Structure 1
Amino acid sequence: MSWLTKYVRPKIRGLLKRDVPDNLWTNCPSCHQMVLVKELRRTLNVCPHCGFHMKVPAAERFEWTFDAGSYTRIELPKVAADPLGFRDQKRYTDRLKDARAKSGLDESLVVAHGRITGYPAVVAIMAYEFMAGTMGTALGEAFVAAARLAILQRSPLVIFTASGGARMQEGILSLMQMPRTTVAVQMLKDAGLPYIVVLTDPTTGGVSASFAMLGDVQIAEPKALIGFAGPRVIEDTVREKLPEGFQRSEYLLEHGMLDMVVERKNLRETLGRVIGLLTAAPPGDVFTETLPDPEEPGSEETPLPVN
């Protein structure tokens, strides 16, 4: 072994060696470009190369949606952890434990109330980091609790959707949440309160077939995948090539299924403007002054119509 190999090479390697964190870079799922995680934080998890709006943890979504320091998360009802005693490669209860440990959440829907540009609002966020945001009995209970809180506070309900659909480990019980959440939406409409949906990537399955498409105002982030079945499943079924951009936000907007497509950096201001228009309330007002309780006898004011 020469002195170059024995002494010089190890010293050169030591000089060139740097401690690089494993989470320094991430890959954009749309354009596959490498992006600095630090840069992503600055752009609100939007790819600086192609503008794709990546998935966002529920905690960060709350921070970006509510006014600074103005919101409070609520405790949600508890449900049976494993109603069917389901097991595939591992027990359903074990999957739930893993999901809770990784995400720091109890379930796939998180609810808070606070203010958006000064307007009081209840916000529900589907956490894709918890079992792909799938819909089970816990999500149904949480959605109903959010609707009831909005009615109690006379506030609009805003929900951010991100889901792979119904949760197969709960079988028919997960599908039963589709009519259940639909009834909760109707409760809001009967109370004359706005229900605003923000669809993010991806929103699919039973979620898109129920409460995700029932908003008085339907907003989506750019390039979000929105539909019931995935494009490949549809292509295999109809045996035809789908149009360019099929099931993406811009395609749905063009075909009348959305009201607007809004970039993430403008979402909070847009939500505040929409809430103000639907309630005709100045920022900071409680909506009971503008939207009286429909059950109150002899009320002189009439709640604003919400389509």
Structure 2
Amino acid sequence: MSWLSRVRNGIPFLPKRQTADNLWHKCGKCGSMVFTKEWEDNLKVCPRCNHHDRIGPADRFAQLFDDGRFEPIAAPTVREDPLKFKDTKRYTDRIKAARTATGEKDALLNAKGLIDGGKAVVGVQDFAFMGGSMGIAVGAAFLKGVETAVAEGCPYIIFTAAGGARMQEGILSLMQMPRTTVALAELREAGLPYIVVLTDPTTGGVTASYAMLGDVQIAEPGALIGFAGARVIEQTIREKLPDGFQRAEYLLEHGMIDMVVPRSNLRETLGKLIAYLSPQKQAA
């Protein structure tokens, strides 16, 4: 055996399933390389800089509900591509690509279960699905979540993450704003809480509608929250915006939200709010 063969055979190569591609996670904010397992155990929050990465419905439900047990709520079937829209690609092709990438039907999923022993219906917007954009399907899913909360006599908790209205559905997308507002009026008539958790990013038509109507407004640390982008605002008012403008901490300081809660404390915080805001419903 040559010396080259002996050296090569002595190198402890990693198995394919533990390659550098999946063994390490690079933080999108500070650039630190973190063991993927450490990052996942920390709820996908960077242990170096506390950057809260975007997560989808599956992770969110598993983190929130007691013992990770929940019951998915099927969204109503709606008409797809009502405007027969096409830009550089057909809208139907964009929907198919998003479904393939995420494994979900659309950008908002609902589930029900227990959070710290309290019954709740939780909706989660997935930014990975066409930027979490609000279209007819998202509006219908939101209404279904509210209806289920009323039927179950429990709060509706929404985790928002969106770039705004879905342009491929035009005015039909904007019509979801009054639809969701009316649905929330029914929730309040039933005496049930509506809790909003703003995650990164929450912008556009979603911010202008149901994202800012909560009885309690919570945000994850560092979340981008606003209507128009900072650059558009600067160009409009011709002034330099303050540091951290449109971030969760800035909004808390200026009274637009009630609290900023780290992901590790969210389940406990929501459990307390459910017990405090609807004790009679939970006791029943």
Pairwise TM-score range, normalised by the shorter structure: over 0.9
Identical aligned residues as a percent: 57
Q: Which moved more, 1:134-143 or 1:233-242?
A: 233-242
- Residue equivalent to 2:92: 93
2:283 corresponds in structure 1 to 285
Give the drift of 1:29.
2.1
CA distance in 1, matches of 2:41, 2:120: 26
Structure of larger gyration radius: 1
The equivalent of 2:226 in structure 1 is 227
Aligned equivalent of 1:123: 122
Q: Distance in 2 between matches of 1:59 and 1:161?
A: 15
5+ residue gaps, structure 2, are none
**SS of aligned partner of 1:50:** coil
Does the residue aligned with 2:257 lie in a helix, a strand or coil? coil
Q: Distance in 2 between the 1:268 and 1:206 partners? A: 27
Distance 1:95 1:280, change over 3 A: same
TM-score, normalised by the number of residues in structure 2: 0.93
Amino acid in structure 1 at the alignment position of 2:283: D
Q: Is the 8 A contact 1:225 1:249 kept in 2?
A: yes
Q: Contact conserved, 1:146 with 1:157, CA < 8 A, in 2?
A: yes
Amino acid at match of 1:38: K
Contact kept? 1:74, 1:111, Cα under 8 Å: yes
8 A Cα contact 1:252 1:258, kept in partner:
yes
Correspondence for 1:208: 207
Cα distance in 1 for partners of 2:81, 2:20 equals: 38
Residue aligning to 1:246:
245
Residue aligned with 1:123, SS: strand
- For residue 21 of structure 1, report the CA deviation from its aligned partner: 4.6
Residue 280 to residue 35, structure 1, CA distance change in 2 (3 Å):
same
Task: Judge conservation of contact 1:119–1:285 (CA < 8 Å) in 2.
Answer: no
| SS in structure 1 at match of 2:21 | coil
Aligned to 1:190: 189
Aligned pairs, number? 279
Does the 8 A contact of 2:181 with 2:210 survive in 1? Answer: yes
Unaligned runs of 5+ in 1: 1-6, 287-307
RMSD: 1.7
The Cα shift of 1:240 comes to 1.6
The CA distance in 1 between the partners of 2:234 and 2:68, in whole Å, is 46
Matches within 5 A, 1:8-23: 12=7, 15-16=10-11, 18=14, 19=16, 20-23=19-22
Deviation at 1:191, TM superposition (A): 1.3
Q: 1:1-307 residue pairs with structure 2 within 5 A?
A: 12=7, 15-16=10-11, 18=14, 19=16, 20-281=19-280, 285-286=283-284
Contact kept, 8 Å, 2:154 with 2:278, in 1: the verdict is: no
TM-score, normalized by length of structure 1?
0.86
> What SS class does the counterpart of residue 78 from structure 1 fall into?
coil
Flag the structure with higher helix content: 2
Q: What displacement does 1:12 show? A: 4.5
CA contact (8 A) 2:25 2:33 kept: yes
Deviations 1:221-275 (A, max 9, x none): 1111000112222222222211111111111011111111111011011001011
Out of 206-215 and 120-129, give the one that drifted further. Answer: 120-129
AA partner of residue 26 (structure 1):
H
What is the distance in 2 between the residues matched to 1:42 and 1:198? 21
> What is the aligned partner in structure 2 of residue 297 from structure 1?
none
Deviation at 1:171, TM superposition (A): 1.1
